[in-house]
């Protein structure tokens, strides 16, 4: 299904998610897993596969800028600014259901299911890597490479050194 997302796979905003942490693994892994599941579920539910896989790859872009219920809208706005069609943006908005807005299209339901399935897969990936230590090594690397956590951990470290500051 990669031929449906070739352009997005080369988008710097998507590529930078390799350095962002999501569910303790690279966000990119979560997005790729969501793409994989959304393609499968789209075929099962006779939904538009192109819409589903594009929405899946974008759905958590800039998620840190929002909350549990609002980050779908942030990613959808980014998608719209990139010229994605209304169907893709609609699917992204409601991907956190039952948190936030309710899905209104078949493709939106596909993304809800694919995201949940991918999240379970993320957990499996993380737990699997705990046994040989790779998960914790990768997690430490992500804490350093992800600007969001880098700032947070530096601030916490400073606080520990100087609690009154
Ligand atoms: Fe999300
Ligand atoms: Fe997600």
C-alpha 52/C-alpha 4 separation (Å) is: 10
Apex CA 13: angle with CA 4 and CA 8, to 5°?
10
Output the pLDDT for position 115.
Answer: 98
Q: Is the model more confident about 122 or about 157? A: 122
pLDDT at 101 over 70: yes
**What is the distance in A from the centroid of ligand 1 to the CA of 87?**
17
The mean pLDDT value of the chain amounts to 94
pLDDT at 156 over 80: no
**What is the distance in A from the centroid of ligand 1 to the CA of 8?**
18
Output the pLDDT for position 162.
Answer: 78
How many angstroms separate the first and last alpha carbons of the chain?
52
Residue 147 β-bridge partners: none
* Six token digits for residue 36: 């994989």
pLDDT at 155 over 90: no
Q: Is the model more confident about 31 or about 154? A: 31
**Whether the Cβ atoms of residue 53 and residue 115 lie closer than 8 Å to each other:** no
Ligand nearest to the CA of 27: 2
C-alpha 70/C-alpha 76 separation (Å) is: 10
Residue ranges of domains in the chain, CATH in brackets: 2-161 (1.10.3210)
- Among candidate residues 3, 1, 32, the one with its CA nearest the CA of residue 15: 32
CB-side neighbour CA atoms (13 Å) of 2? 5
**What is the distance in A from the centroid of ligand 1 to the CA of 154?**
25
DSSP state of 102: P
Average pLDDT of the segment spanning 23-47? 98
Average pLDDT of the segment spanning 155-164? 72
**Whether the Cβ atoms of residue 13 and residue 2 lie closer than 8 Å to each other:** no
Output the pLDDT for position 149.
Answer: 84
* Six token digits for residue 28: 């990119």
pLDDT at 157 over 70: no
Output the pLDDT for position 150.
Answer: 77
SS3 at position 132? coil
Output the pLDDT for position 159.
Answer: 75
């Amino acid at each position: 299904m990669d031929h449906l997302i070739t352009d997005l796979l080369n988008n710097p905003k998507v590529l930078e998610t390799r350095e962002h942490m999501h569910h303790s693994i690279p966000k990119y892994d979560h997005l790729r897993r969501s793409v994989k599941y959304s393609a499968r579920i789209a075929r099962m539910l006779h939904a538009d596969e192109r819409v589903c896989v594009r929405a899946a790859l974008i759905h958590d872009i800039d998620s840190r800028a929002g909350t549990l219920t609002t980050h779908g809208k942030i990613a959808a706005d980014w998608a719209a600014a990139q010229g994605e069609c209304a169907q893709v943006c609609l699917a992204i908005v409601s991907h956190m259901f039952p948190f936030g807005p309710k899905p209104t299209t078949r493709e939106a339901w596909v993304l809800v299911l694919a995201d949940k399935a991918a999240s379970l897969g993320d957990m499996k990936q993380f737990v699997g890597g705990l046994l040989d230590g790779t998960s914790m090594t990768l997690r430490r690397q992500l804490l350093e490479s992800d600007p969001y956590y880098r700032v947070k951990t530096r601030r916490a470290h400073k606080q520990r050194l100087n609690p009154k500051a």
